[in-house]
């Protein structure tokens, strides 16, 4: 029986905090709950902590008394910043805050160190396991501060994966570790850059973007080796549908699901409340 309440799912990453209001009913298209409203909190400047001040207006417009906030976090400072803000401005919301642990997520974890896997990776895998075809594996790609390329087995277990620097992280490193290369805004969203840059900044954008595409495609191919059935590939995070389409292959489909982690958090809360 479906739980009829609502929940605010919270994804606290190293660079951003994302929140989504969910009415816990599965989408007819995906089988996952989909957010009725979302907000993303980001730093005012690169390298700074997230600015949580815009959260007040969003909560005032979105949340009703008694609505739980359920958090999946990979950033202890981000979690503390959210707690401090809610304690200072939203006592009712603070009282309903629940921070998930890896053990809360309804998915088998086959890695060597299950407690050390980022909970955002597991939440995305929970969402992927819900929408994947029966008895078929899935590969989950999450673009963020890091890019993760993870495998969900045909049985629905989190099998592990690969972690590489995110596009923005690589851009910052190039500028910080060289004398002459400029800081550039990474081409995370929107139109893909030309592969042949006509100036240094455009050459960096090309390398960041097409390098990420190539690395992820290679990891998909490596993950694909040894699988009996073709995987369904799900792309989420700070990227665009255009980039997701570039990751397609001859024997697998790619779906762009921007709220996969939040949906996995909401689905987890749904399971815990059953």
Sheet containing 158-165: order of strands: 158-165, 146-152, 138-143, 232-237, 254-256
Burial of residue 215, with CB atoms counted within 10 A of its CB: 0-12 exposed, 13-18 middle, 19 or more buried: middle
Q: 247-257: per-residue pLDDT in tens?
A: 988 888 899 99
83 is in an annotated binding site: no
Instruction: Establish whether 121 is an annotated binding residue.
Output: yes
118 is known to lie in a ligand binding site: yes
pLDDT digits (tens, 9 = 90+) for 124-174: 999 999 888 888 999 999 999 999 999 999 999 999 999 999 998 999 999
Containing 206, the helix (H) or strand (E) segment is: helix 200-224
Please say if 115 is a catalytic residue: no
Task: Write down all domains in the chain, each with its CATH number in brackets.
Answer: 6-102+263-273 (3.30.420.40), 107-260 (3.30.420.40)
Q: Which of 44, 91, 112, 120 is catalytic?
A: 120
Token pair 């629905």 in the structure block, residue: 156
pTM of the model: 0.91
59: enclosing H helix or E strand: helix 55-62
SS3 26: strand
């Amino acid at each position: 029986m479906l739980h009829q309440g609502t929940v605010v799912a919270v994804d606290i990453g190293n660079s951003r905090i994302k929140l989504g209001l969910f009415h816990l009913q599965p989408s007819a298209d995906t089988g996952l709950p989909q957010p009725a409203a979302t907000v993303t909190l980001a730093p005012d400047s690169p390298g700074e902590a997230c600015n949580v001040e815009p959260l007040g207006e969003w909560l005032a417009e979105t949340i009703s008394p008694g609505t739980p906030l359920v958090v999946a976090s990979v950033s202890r400072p981000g979690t503390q910043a959210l707690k401090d803000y809610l304690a200072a401005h939203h006592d009712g919301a603070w009282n309903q805050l629940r921070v998930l642990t890896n053990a809360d997520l309804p998915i088998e974890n086959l890695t060597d160190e299950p407690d050390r896997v980022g909970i955002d990776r597991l939440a995305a895998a929970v969402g992927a396991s819900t929408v994947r075809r029966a008895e078929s594996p899935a590969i989950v790609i999450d673009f963020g501060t890091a890019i993760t390329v993870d495998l969900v087995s045909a049985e629905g277990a989190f099998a592990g994966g690969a972690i590489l620097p995110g596009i923005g992280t690589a851009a910052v490193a190039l500028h910080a570790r060289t004398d002459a290369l400029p800081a550039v805004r990474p081409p995370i969203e929107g139109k893909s850059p030309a592969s042949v840059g006509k100036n240094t900044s455009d050459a960096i954008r090309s390398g960041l973007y097409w390098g990420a595409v190539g690395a992820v495609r290679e990891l998909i191919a490596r993950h694909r080796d040894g699988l009996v059935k073709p995987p369904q590939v799900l792309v989420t995070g700070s990227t665009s549908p255009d980039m997701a389409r570039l990751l397609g292959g001859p024997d697998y489909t790619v779906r762009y699901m921007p709220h996969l982690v939040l949906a996995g958090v909401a689905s987890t809360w749904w399971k815990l409340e059953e």
